[in-house]
Homo-oligomer: A and B are copies of this chain.
Amino acid sequence: MSSAHPLGLPMAVPVPGLPARVRIHEVGARDGLQNEKATVPTEVKAEFIHRLAGAGLSTVEATSFVHPKWVPQLADAEALFPLLSGLDVELPVLVPNERGLERALALGADRVAVFASVTESFAKANLNRTVDESLTAFAPVVERAKGAGCRVRGYLSMCFGDPWEGQVPVDRVVTVARALLDMGCDELSLGDTIGVATPGHVTALLAALDTAGIGADVLGVHFHDTYGQALSNTLAALQHGVSTVDASAGGLGGCPFAKSATGNLATEDLVWMLQGLGIETGVDLAELTATSLWMAGHLGRPSPSRTVRALGPAAAPSSEE
């Protein structure tokens, strides 16, 4: 039987108490492509971002100004960013340090993000610093960014579990969240980097943050679908009042068939749920799906998004068909 829904969209049945509108923070062009094996030409990245904006995404994280040695996939940030001028959407960029910030500011970026670890193990592995040292290092970056008029997002990675340390206590997340806000971050993104969160854990973390005076209005959630939990975790966050959700077009960044498929929540799967909940996103699902299929063609492999596969043509590349 065909799985196609004749309307191409779910029936909208709003639920009282949920946000009326969700801002999707689209991370496919940065977090997604950063974790893909294939190197995508700069012009394709630019077209991708233009198409994402055209599909109605109002925040499209564009690239990273980390040293090309660490993330060669995004080594073309200086070439890419000017190709995005004129786009009427927010285009945040990741900056790892003051040098990266200066590069971003020189190109006119006005939205930047820093990337902090909640756990010592990941801070050591990713930043070669303790958590405290990394926060100390970020403080002047955030201060300089704010001074330059930027809006600053603070990413918190490993908020639920860590591959070395296992379960992560919620008070550790609260401590790092407070530090990032105190240094001037305008918003935070709570990352489940290895995808081990479940809805009760999400609710408990959001409640602990709330108790510490950190409300849903400054929080975004960033779930990975490693164990298939990203969307139910998102529902729990919406029920707590969170209205900023990170997602990656087509689920970019997670290999659909590899064991370590620590992929991001696919934007299409998220939009399908939000559409069904009657929550406004501004996103045209058909256009977004077409964009992800087009990018899947460039990457030479099918999208891991179930919604993309369900709405897309039957001709998705596959060894099964």
| CB proximity to B under 8 Å, residues A1-44 | 1-7, 10-15
Interfacial chain B residues near A290, Cβ < 8 Å: none
Number of A residues whose C-beta is below 8 Å from B? 73
Contacts A1-B262, A257-B320 given; does A166 touch B276 at CB 8 Å: no
Contact B4 A163 (CB under 8 A): yes
| Stretch from A104-112, A146-154, A307-315 that touches the partner | A307-315
| CB proximity to B under 8 Å, residues A264-321 | 266, 269, 272-273, 275-278, 301-302, 305-307, 309-310, 312-314, 316, 318-321
Interfacial chain B residues near A15, Cβ < 8 Å: 199-200, 203
Q: Report if A130 contacts B (CB, 8 A).
A: no
| Stretch from A45-53, A85-93, A94-102, A229-237 that touches the partner | A229-237
Contact A226 B262 (CB under 8 A): no
Closest 5 CB pairs of A and B: A198-B276, A13-B200, A228-B269, A228-B306, A257-B318
Complex Cα spacing A160 to B301, Å: 31
Partner of A278, one of B1, B200, B227, B273: B200
Complex Cα spacing A305 to B255, Å: 14
17 A-B residue pairs with Cβ-Cβ distance under 8 Å, sorted by A, are A1-B262, A3-B226, A4-B163, A5-B166, A5-B194, A11-B160, A11-B196, A197-B276, A200-B278, A225-B306, A226-B310, A227-B310, A229-B272, A235-B235, A257-B319, A258-B321, A260-B310
Contact A6 B164 (CB under 8 A): yes
Contacts A258-B318, A321-B258 given; does A227 touch B2 at CB 8 Å: no
- Interface centre among A228, A235, A261, by most B CB within 10 Å? A228
Q: Report if A220 contacts B (CB, 8 A).
A: no
| CB proximity to B under 8 Å, residues A55-82 | none
In the complex, residue of chain B having the shortest beta-carbon distance to the beta carbon of A6: B166
Complex Cα spacing A201 to B261, Å: 30
In the complex this chain forms, how many copies of it are found? 2
Q: Report if A256 contacts B (CB, 8 A).
A: yes
Contact B232 A273 (CB under 8 A): yes
- A209 CB to nearest B CB, Å: 14
Contact A204 B13 (CB under 8 A): yes
Q: A11-B167, A200-B277, A228-B231 are in contact. List 13 more A-B contacts (CB 8 A).
A: A1-B125, A3-B195, A5-B166, A5-B196, A6-B165, A7-B166, A198-B275, A200-B278, A235-B235, A256-B257, A258-B316, A259-B312, A301-B320
Contact B316 A276 (CB under 8 A): no
